[in-house]
Amino acid sequence: MRKTVLLSVALILAIVLIPGSYLVGAGQNVQQTTTTTAPHGCPTYETNLLVDWVNSTPHSVVVGNLVITTFHVVYPDGTPVLLSPRTASFNWTGPSGWKYFSNVQVIFNGTPGFYYYYQNFTQDIIQATGLGTITIFVAYCSCSDALGNRGPTGDTSSIQTNEPPPYDDSQVVPPTPTTTTTTQVTPPPLFPAVLAIPIIIIILLILALLMFVLRRRRKKT
């Protein structure tokens, strides 16, 4: 009788505990597979935006030049993004440092997904980055659409988009000093004119002398 009771208790415990442990395990699996956390930590609504092309011109700049950066923003399926708000941040990285421009207004260039970023090249950029090659990055998580989807998931330049360099590089060169070429106008030589006057005088004297001699001869005859 005791054996029967013990077997019954063991059977009941097995029925209760084994399904319970299975349900706990199943719950963990479901939670892991249904996570909505955005990859790489950029907070977003549904999906992260991508920057797949960056191009900055001109490639050689001095203080006072206007640098124009064109960049392309898409969804993971390649659909162009309409930025909202129409701003982005940019990181200028050079040989000795970097300068960050936050929430700068960008301009839609007429082609879906493509935007212009205008920036005057100033002395404080050189002081922050140093002379040499400066790479302009579209900053991490600084682009968004109207729904709140954000990207890119990291600072992005042509290095990340596999575009041939130097699409987003600007070579900073020291200002070239202005050279003024002075042309000295040399007056024509005075040598012939200076000699002409005494030669004419001598010729006139000779003629006068000849005329005087001829007159005297005529008088004698």
Tens of pLDDT, residue by residue, the chain (221 residues) = 444 433 443 444 443 333 333 222 222 222 222 223 333 468 888 999 999 999 999 989 999 999 999 999 999 999 999 999 999 999 999 999 999 999 999 999 999 999 999 999 999 999 999 989 999 999 999 999 999 999 999 999 977 665 544 444 555 554 443 333 333 444 455 555 566 777 888 888 888 888 877 777 776 66
Distance between CA atoms of residues 57 and 37, nearest Å: 37
Fold of the domain spanning 50-172: Immunoglobulin-like (2.60.40)
Distance between CA atoms of residues 16 and 9, nearest Å: 11
**28: which 2 tokens?**
């963990």
Domain boundaries, the chain: 50-172
Q: Comparing C-alpha atoms, which of 122, 136, 129, 209 is closest to residue 169?
A: 136
pTM for this entry: 0.58
